[in-house]
C-alpha cells in the first residue's frame, strides 16, 4: 500500500521499533527518518509540534539525554529555548514522532501509532516485550 507516513525514528529505541513494525504490519512502508542522523529543520519541528497539538516541552525527552545538565527542567524556559536545545541536541526530541494523513502524534506508547494508520493490521502483532497488541484477525486488543 502506498500511503504517506513518516516516522522520526531511533533504531535504538524499542518504542520506536515497535511503532515502525506496526506501520509495516499494515502493509505500509513508511518514510523512515533517523532523526539523530538527519534532524528536522527548526521550522519543520515547530510545525510538527503545533500539528500534534503539543508544546515543545511535551516533546522533550529526559531519559538518556543531557536534559538535566542543560537545566531543561527549569519551568521559566521559553518554548524557543526548549526548541533551541532540541536543535543543538536532537536526542532531546522524543520519539517516535509519526506523521500520516490522519495527523501527527508522539507515539508513546507505541500502539498510539494505530490511530494514525489508515489501513488495517494484516496479522497478529506483539511488541518486543511480548505484549500482544493485535489479534490473529488483525484487531486491536483492548488493554
| Closest C-alpha among 96, 101, 95, 97 to residue 2 | 101
Cis? peptide before 105, omega within 30° of 0: no
Q: What's 73's DSSP letter? A: T
- Catalytic-residue membership of 107: no
Three-state DSSP string of 75-91? CCCCHHHHHHHHHHCHH
Catalytic residue among 7, 9, 10, 13: 13
CA of 2: how far to CAs of 26, 74, 103, 104, 117, in Å? 11, 43, 17, 18, 12
Cell numbers representing residue 101 in the block = 494523513
Residues involved in catalysis: 13
Amino acid at each position: 500500500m502506498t500511503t504517506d507516513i513518516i516516522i522520526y525514528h531511533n533504531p535504538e529505541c524499542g518504542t520506536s521499533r515497535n511503532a515502525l513494525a506496526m506501520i509495516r504490519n499494515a502493509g505500509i512502508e513508511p518514510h523512515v527518518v533517523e532523526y539523530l542522523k538527519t534532524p528536522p529543520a527548526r521550522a519543520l519541528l515547530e510545525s510538527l509540534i503545533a500539528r500534534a497539538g503539543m508544546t515543545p516541552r511535551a516533546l522533550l525527552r529526559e531519559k538518556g539525554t543531557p536534559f538535566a545538565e542543560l537545566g531543561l527542567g527549569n519551568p521559566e524556559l521559553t518554548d524557543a529555548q526548549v526548541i533551541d536545545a532540541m536543535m543543538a541536541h536532537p536526542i532531546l526530541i522524543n520519539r517516535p514522532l509519526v506523521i500520516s494523513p490522519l495527523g501527527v502524534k508522539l507515539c508513546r506508547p507505541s500502539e498510539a501509532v494505530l490511530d494514525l494508520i489508515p489501513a488495517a493490521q494484516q496479522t497478529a502483532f506483539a511488541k518486543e516485550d511480548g505484549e500482544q497488541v493485535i489479534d490473529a484477525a488483525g484487531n486491536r486488543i483492548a488493554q
